[in-house]
Structure 1
């Protein structure tokens, strides 16, 4: 695809206006992301702002992640426009920073928040006020904006190797960072702590099982989201073969995995009843 969610085609292929079968597959994935991603994340945003869930303060990271996901879904629509309006080809390249940095950063903040709540509850209560979350999100948005300008600079410079090295290393480091905290949470949840008797202990174990499966689903989704792009990127760097067919599976995994976090939030808010785990 000439201008996809992440433009990793070579300069030679980017000048080719022919749309092949792989392009139609990726166009379908981008369309699904836009048609379902925008309303889903807007609904999550509305639930947080109206206080239907746990409130804005406790869900502030999720609120910012939803805003980032909405922008990402809109970028998927913008990525289709260069097929018809060539002058817009630089806009999706600039918005790549949201995909490369925005989503992973806010997911990392959510992982750290869950880690502190489970493993270090005293520290979590100390930094629970909203002002700390606002500061973290402000820094995350500044870093994301810098990533947008960096992505645009790389594309203008037509340095494909630098682009692939940047996003591969970026995804790999953020994946290890998130997995470290998620695995630590899973280990803490598996340890049996002191509880009450009878019904109280049963309710505590039930809540721990639900939290365990929630974090387990999040861990698997994180791996599916970022690992394919990192593996494909390093494979291209090592082999020197940059063919568009290599990127399609990773792109589809990244697009579809973006629905996991909003669906899990809607489930926790009681708006989805068909998603069940022990």
Structure 2
């Protein structure tokens, strides 16, 4: 019992300093972000990803292709469960809407209000629902803290970076599993709640210029996170045998 009380007292000044408007060192802010996020029971996220490729052919004609994804997910990390919806669109094809319901034993997915399909490995639909897991954005925050700036703005910490950096570029390409490019410019802003240290919102923009291929690739990644330890599970387990059954939810995130 004494060890538990002592541990609580050691962490108490950190929260008091932040609540009183005094910024903590970046290393402590990142450690608090990691520690608090590791024990999450639930959270809700909305993530949008847009990739635009502009390419000029040998005749000087410019072609533009755009792909985007939006995902609205309610997740329970410890149980590896979740539910939500996702929309994928390629400028050359119609949009596709997918719905997900994932349990520890099996994951379900249906596309454009069709039949539910069961996956023996729940990790597959769970990964598809999230686009990127929360851990990815935590790692991105750590990268930006190292190469960018950290400021306390009111009741939020703002992590930001503008410009290019070869070392940071390599880390980000590794994180997102993208092809490296020497000419990449970034505009990144990540916001954390100054009291809880939870990630609340982020905005990520990158521009990759491949002069030898006459190609420019821009990526926009934005998101919002909320309902930390407050997200609700489905009221009832849906009947996945019925084609016209929609999973009933207990909150407005679906």
Query: What is the TM-score with the length of structure 1 in the denominator?
Result: 0.23
Structure showing the higher helix proportion among its residues: 1
Query: What is the TM-score with the length of structure 2 in the denominator?
Result: 0.25
Structure showing the higher strand proportion among its residues: 2
